[in-house]
Structure 1
Amino acid sequence: MSLLQWGGGVRTIEDVDRLLKAGADKVGMNSAAVTNPSLITEASDRFGAQCIVVAIDAKHVCDTWHVMTHGGSKDTEIDAIEWAKEAEKRGAGEILLTSVDTDGVKNGFDLKLTETVVNAVRIPVIASGGVGKPEHFPEVFKQTDVSAGLAASIFHENTFSIKQVKDQCKLQGVNIRET
């Protein structure tokens, strides 16, 4: 079963309601959730945690990671690991974790960040940021307990196909759904 997730520009409970009524299965929020954490709770209570995804853009700063907003350009100085725990506590059903440091670099996922967040929460975590080749997917799946991986540019630029990624996962022993 395929799911449709919407993210970007979600600021109010009315936005969540409108998007779900338009057919989205899940709604992602980042900046608005940081600014107004009660939005997570209200949306989860009203629509169910299964459809509330909190997107966390994290940047490595000293010995920790900070939550970034506004497309990764604004440092909130909020600890990303603590924010992931708070988002879960408030009712998020999933975390979409993007490493600002690796996003667009194409050298692979930020494995340390990913594993740290995965170990801090009980809800599914989707790794994002840094994919440059199919081998990066089995790497994140084998080295962390992440629930899913996300890539954009390798597909948008037609560098690799989804089939190539799935084939690489199977080749390296990662259990992945057949196409």
Structure 2
Amino acid sequence: MLGRIAGEAWIVDLLRRFDFDLDRVADGPPEAVHLPSGEPLEMIAGDASGGAFMLVGDDNGDDNGDDNGDGVARPVLYVGSEGEGGLIATDLRAALALVVGLPSVHDATSIPYGDDGGARLREWLARADEEIREDWPELDAERARLRQALDLPEADGLLEALHRLAADEDYRPVSDAGDRYEAMVDAPGA
């Protein structure tokens, strides 16, 4: 999928507008990080806040980089510039669905998924989308265009998984100085 994205300038440009900027890879993550397991991390994009989207695991030299060479998808980690981070998706397709389909990953993790089936979170995200549409009236059409081009699922169906994954301590980034990043979401029951 990464190879396909890089080969289509309009997709690269539109993903940049959705704050998934492949050119920010040259800047690197906010700081050097690793996972407690020692699995390798590969930055694939950055956002305007200085955060990094990183693939977990080794690509074993395949052509597209988003699987480990045997067809098994690589999870996607977010490393924020404010010391927050965690797993956001089990594969690049789901991560892109979140990036394209939500106001931002930050907005989607700022309110707990909750016992209400995510109703409060969805209301919050709908309000954030309305604010974005004031400056970007083509938002929904651009989302649909990217979903079709990249065969992305709807983000709404991924919200519960996002919160579950982001709470996974095994995928909490650790700085090279040994400082563990903050969770992007409150742990269930917290």
Question: With structure 2 as the length reference, what TM-score do the two structures score?
Answer: 0.27
Question: With structure 1 as the length reference, what TM-score do the two structures score?
Answer: 0.28
Higher RCO (C-alpha 8 Å, min separation 6): 2
Larger strand proportion of the pair: 1
